Every structure is written in structure tokens, then in C-alpha cells.
Copies of this chain bind each other. A is one copy, B any other.
């Protein structure tokens, strides 16, 4: 039985008394995520429509259908926040062919966008699929052969990728199974050699292979839970907490956050996770708020593994498009995930049945007092004077953790009073390891595609490519991407000076998309987004520049390899496209079974004009991950990221005209345990 998938488009008025009788006005921002009540309403509307009759109706994605950018900008500028807003949802709900043919009950608020193969999957489906092997005779036999108790088995769902198969095929998943039992860290105990293929629509196993029996690594040393640790313990550290004697400096008003010179909107989406919108910075000198970022979020996370074995070759995950970077977000733990002075926000997604599910503490917001200075100078050059001026650095961090199965991605947006936005992504969590007969590297004579971290345990080489969507609107809508290239120049012999060389700067404005595919570091250059219609008093174009905080990483897969085709944007760290509302997801709207024909690189082949238009920067932060023993059984944080830094945006350093906020009195504290 094949399935036909539908896209549904829901449009309704916000503040309809029946829908949100008590929604506070302050949250009526057009970019606010769907509330629990709105998600419930959507479910009711759809279930009362002609679609409701379908037994196979399932909610794969329910989220805000972002209003058109001009409308949002007009709303933001008008500031008439109490105004009734037209709100629309974007719903992906697959229906099997033949279901819901009764068009008489079609709801006036429902609009079928276009048929498509959504290829999303719900948490409920994954859970159901993961339970299948336990009742599947061949698997029960495989477990017996390995001496594994079925009660200890945990199976996990893995996307199957696309490897040149013709036709759209079925909605398939692969399962790989592990042994938990004495340890929570089942990922370290693979039942190597077994592959299970599941048809998700039929929810049954359609393929099974037990290729080879390999020892299951032992549980000892794999558990990471505090309660399971035994001496010798690692040396401890003393606790420390940030205290703010004058209170917090930020205000959360619905989803709008206001702090120091920054103002932005923070929303949750099941696919993207944390979305920052309408970030603007107050320019004290101009007495005006100035736009920086219309919308920024993690658009895709591509994670290919580097082992071509049958149980491994397909592990080429697209964590946002195939799983949902927000759907898999972790509730943040106060005092450890975020410091004592953090505030938390919740998120809501729709369950498979359309009911809203609360994700508590999905974001945290806190002020960071890193102990660094924002700027300083000591001046000894003026006779008989000693000048020392130092300003403390304070920044605001918003954080979400996407825990995609084994891996945890800590994603931070740090707003600085200097006007910078620092974006950080840190990897932690658990590696994917392969069972092996090896117990010592001396036994290894061939390429094992990974590192032997423990007996029978090879952590496989892999990459992480976190691609950010950055719709920068630097001081206005129309921007231009600039490469400021540094080039060596010779000093003329006739110059009269003995110096022979220097470097100078050539600014190249990108006219077309092809001019803006950048492999960072291949030539020395600074990358800027400027507003060519606005200049400083000195005549410099106002802008921001992108600074990578790590050695640039690009995909090393062959261009003709299937995962590389699907993530074909991964060979350049920067792409620039003209703003297009439908181009949100670097690997395409429907990523499962995708073929790279609807991704960033495909769109960009049109080579559209990008000069002095509304542009979007796509920046990929990459990691090549060669595992080391310290990554066993759970890896310490490994961080990278980038900075968006004002560059001729302000007339001068905006932090000079700061009344010194130097803290001279220490708070007097007592700890009550």
C-alpha cells in the first residue's frame, strides 16, 4: 500500500475570542510561535474538516506560517501591538491515498498547498518502530545468538538516506539495536552486524539482516550518571554563582527580549529550534534603534559518518530536516545547563494526534559576566600621568540544546553591548561506536574508519556541519555582500623608502550568487554585509562582518556521492542568496529521501542578482571529528562558532560613552543549605 501525502495550510484570525480568550496582548507578535491553544485549535479545525474522517490522519509538523516579511516589518515599525493579527499555520499531515475524499466538508480555513512527500516523522512513530524488533522472530534469534537478554535491548531509529534509488519509495527507517541493561549508555554497546528496515506507514519490518556477529562491548565504564560513579573520583571544584545585586538587566515581554542596547524576538520551531528575529540595536548617538538581523536560526545539521560498511554507510543524518532540531530539544537544567541567574522559556509542538506538547525550559536567557573586559587601555605615555580605563564585559546569552539521539548540540546566541552577535555551537553527548573484535590497536592492520576507544569499541570518524540561516538586514532591507581581499603589494624602488612590501585591501562587491560562494581561508579576506544605501559621516558603508571562530571545515565527500549531493552546499562555508520566503532549509523542505534538487546549492545555481537587494547569508560551522579516548564514554564540550561584528555600522565604538558601571561594593552573601 502506497501513501499519498498532503500539505495543509491553515489560516485563521488570531484573537478570535473562541480561540484565545485570554491571550495577553503583549505576546501578539506576528512571529510568535503557535501557542498551545492555537495548536489545539488547528487540531480541532482539521479534525472537524473533511480530513478528520481519515483514520490515517497524523500531524507531522505544525508551526507558524511566517507572515510575509513586508507585513512583519510594517507591524514592527508601527508598534501598534494591540492590533488583530492574521495568523497562519503551516501543517504537514500525510493522508493515505483514498482517504478524505469527502470534499463537501472541506473547511474554509484549510488550503491544500501542494501534494508532496513530506517524509517527516513523529516521535510516536519512532518509538513504535524502535519497539518492533523485540517481537520479530529473526531478531529474537539474533539476540539469543549474542547472548543478549531481550529486556536489555534498546533499538534506535536511523534515517536511511538516499543512495540513488529510483522512485520516491516508501517512508523507511533503519533500526540499529544496542544493549542497555547495566548502563544508560547503550550507544556504547552496539549489537553490530544487524540491520533492520522498517516501513513507517505500515509500521512493520520489511527488511532484516544479521550479517556478522561481533562481541558486544562490555558495560563497565560506560555509564555517565552521577549515581553510578565509583571512586577514584575526579578532583572537585568549588561552587560559584553569579549574583546580580540590582536584579536582572533584561525583560522578557511575551517573546520579545529587551536588554541593554538589544531588542529581539525569540521563538521556538520544532524544526529549527531557536529562532532569533528582528534583532535591532540601539544607537545612542543617533538616538535610534537600527536593524541588524531579520531572522537567524539553525537551518540544517548534516552529520555524515565515514564507514562504508553495510550497517554504517547510510548514516548521513540531516538532524533538522529529518528529525527536527527543535523537536529533539532538551529541557534545560537550572544551575548546570544555564547559570543561576538564567530565566527559562517553554516551547510547544504538536504531537502526532495534533495535541500540543509542552517542552519545558527549552530556552534559557541569562547575562554573562565572563570576567573579561569589553575594552581597556592603560596609558603611560603622558608624562606624570597614569591613565587606566577598563570596562567590564557583560553580554546576554540565549541558549537551546538539541539532543539528537546520541549527540547534544548546545547552540548559543550571545548579544554584546559592542553590537556583536556571537553564535556558538558546542558538541557534547555520546559518539556512535561500532562493535569490533579488536581489544588493542596492535591487532588492527586495516583501516577501521575510526578510533579504538575501549575494548570492542571503535568510534567512527564523522563530520558535523551546522548551517545557519542569517537574514541580515543591516540598517535596512537592501544589502550587499563584500569580500575585502588582502593582497600583497610591492613598494616601488623609486619610493625612496627601503620597505619592499605591504598588503592592501580590494573590496569586491558580489553581484551574483556565484560571486558569494566562499571557502573561508582560501584567500585572506574579510566578509561583510553592508548597506550600500547608508553611509557613516565619513562615507563608509554601514555593515557587519562575519568572523569564523575556528579553522574552516568543508565536506570531504566526493561530489558524486549521494549524501554529498543532498548536502552539496557543504563544500563552501558561505553562500548568499536573494531573500526568498520559501528558501528556509539549506537541504530543502523535504529532506528525507531528498536528492539535492531542492537545496541551497540548487537554488543558487540560478545565479540570481544579490547586489543591493534583500539578501540572506548561509554560514556553515563545521567539525571533522576524529574521536579520542577522552570522548569515551561521553565527550567533553567541543566548541566552534562565528561572530557578526559591527564594521562601520556605528560612527565610533559604542561602548566609550558608557557611564562606568564598575562594581565597587561586594555583596554580602550567606549560603543556606
Contacts and interface: CB of A to CB of B under 8 A. Distances in A.
A394 B240 contact: yes
B379 A341 contact: no
A23 B55 CA distance: 86
A335 B392 contact: yes
Interface in A396-439: 397, 401, 403, 405, 408, 410, 417-420, 426, 428-430, 439
B557 A501 contact: yes
A340 B666 CA distance: 8
Interface string A237-273: 1111111111111000000000111000000000000
Interface in A185-218: 186
A377 interface: yes
Interface residues of A, number: 199
B501 A369 contact: no
Contacts of A489: 447
Contacts of A369: 240-242, 339
Contact of A659 (B229, B308, B338, B647): B229
B538 A666 contact: no
Nearest to A379: B184
Contacts of A496: 310
Contact of A635 (B305, B375, B484, B553): B375
A373 B634 contact: no
A142 to B, nearest CB: 19
A52 interface: no
A647 B662 CA distance: 41
Contacts of A340: 663, 666
Contacts of A114: none
A656 B633 contact: yes
Contacts of A164: 498
A498 B563 CA distance: 11
A653 B244 CA distance: 34
A497 B636 contact: no
A597 interface: no
Contacts of A487: 556
B373 A410 contact: yes
Contacts of A499: 163, 308, 313-314, 561-563
Interface in A361-379: 366-379
A154 B669 CA distance: 47
A285 interface: yes
A115 to B, nearest CB: 28
Given A240-B394, A417-B234, A381 B498 contact: no
Nearest to A550: B549
B657 A505 contact: no
A461 B503 contact: yes
Contacts of A306: 502-504
B371 A339 contact: yes
Copies per complex of this chain: 2
Contacts of A229: 656-659
Interface in A634-662: 634-637, 645-662
Interface string A615-634: 00000000010101111111
B261 A234 contact: yes
B397 A371 contact: yes
A490 interface: yes
A162 B591 CA distance: 60
Interface stretch (A1-9, A87-95, A520-528): A520-528
A440 B537 CA distance: 8
Contact of A428 (B249, B377, B635, B649): B377
A632 B652 contact: yes
B633 A233 contact: no
A642 B480 CA distance: 32
Contacts of A368: 370-371
Contacts of A246: 238-239, 671
Nearest to A165: B498
A342 interface: yes
Nearest to A304: B502
Contact of A417 (B235, B417, B451, B545): B235
Contacts of A419: 630
Contacts of A454: 538, 652
Contacts of A226: 389, 658-660
Given A224-B375, A225-B387, 4 more contacts: A180-B382, A234-B417, A550-B551, A630-B649
8 contacts: A234-B284, A235-B261, A336-B373, A340-B663, A377-B634, A499-B563, A503-B556, A538-B629
